[in-house]
Amino acid sequence: MQIQSSFSLKKFNTFGIDQTVEAFVSVQTEEALKEALALKEFPTKFILGGGSNLLLTRPIKGLCIHINTKGIRLIKETKNAVIVEAMAGENWHDFVNWSISQGYGGMENLSLIPGNVGTAAIQNIGAYGVELKDIFDSCSAIALSDLQEIEFSLEEADFDYRSSAFKTSAKGKYVITRLRVCLTKENHKLNTDYGAIKEALGDLEPNPKNIAAAVISIRQSKLPDPKEIGNSGSFFKNPVVSLSHFSQLQKKYPTIPSYPVNKTQVKIPAGWLIDCLNFKGYREGDAGVHKNQALVLVNYGSASGNQILSLAQKIQQKVKEEFDIWLEAEVNII
């Protein structure tokens, strides 16, 4: 096990923030992960996945353990479905591509979401009308208290909008090691009603492969590649408001979009609210709002985490003043 001191995490977070950690180790096996977690000279452990949902605003104390475990395998197969397991360090989009190549359905709407498999479960990632919970079977995790492995069912994972037990009741108590999803072999439950998927499909047959290609095309047209411009995808959650609040907003903004959540609440696109305040393309030094998608904050080069956070707070305040809505950050701010 190679532990490096005063290690820069610039290449390990998609914002490209140059922040250091006291000590760093990358683990390729679950055995190495347990060994790193057991190191007593570093009582504080910081678990790092793909770094795609992270804004670093300060140096990190203790040992940063980078989860780099790889592997995808078929666990169970029936006539109509399969259960597939992926290691936590697998790149999420690579996992989606693998499932598409096998002819499986269920993951196509989640194409091109940055990050790794393990953090996908923590975040309950979602896009274009589909969330991870819709295909989730179970996951394995190591308990930090005794380093024993435990399994979480769908109910135990307690998924919510961009949240799970791993962000709430179980936060800081477990490290996810494996994720299992249930996918279809035929009679796929396709979701093409969200966003511009139907338009992007055109005359193509709606199947998992073509839907994945459509989603990738849409995302690439709207979202910057983190390899070219530092970003963490959607910075804010789409807010959920009461119907009465929405009705008041609709009087002033007749074209305000919404999606029903239940009989008493609707979800409003955060990007629309931000764009309405002319923040799209706004920039303060190297911290800015992307020109094509107001929901994405970007690092144009050398912005610090605090500079991006300051911009985020300015947006939150302006949205609150205009719409009486507080935007909640989707990224984890450290």
Residue 164 structure tokens: 């799970």
How big is the CA angle at 232 (ends 257 and 300), to the nearest 5 degrees? 105
DSSP single-letter state for residue 238: P
Strands 283-284 and 287-289: antiparallel
Residue 232 structure tokens: 């963490």
Given 99, 138, 234, 304, which residue is catalytic?
A: 234
Given 30, 52, 162, 232, which residue is catalytic?
A: 162
Question: Which residue type is seen at 228?
Answer: E
DSSP single-letter state for residue 327: P
HSE, side-chain direction, 13 A CA sphere, residue 18: 4
162 is catalytic: yes
330 is catalytic: yes
Strands 149-153 and 136-143: antiparallel
Given 30, 108, 131, 330, which residue is catalytic?
A: 330
Task: Report the alpha-carbon distance of residue 170 to residue 153 in Å, rounded.
Answer: 14
Residue 226 structure tokens: 């983190």
35 is catalytic: no
As annotated, the active-site residues are 162, 234, 330
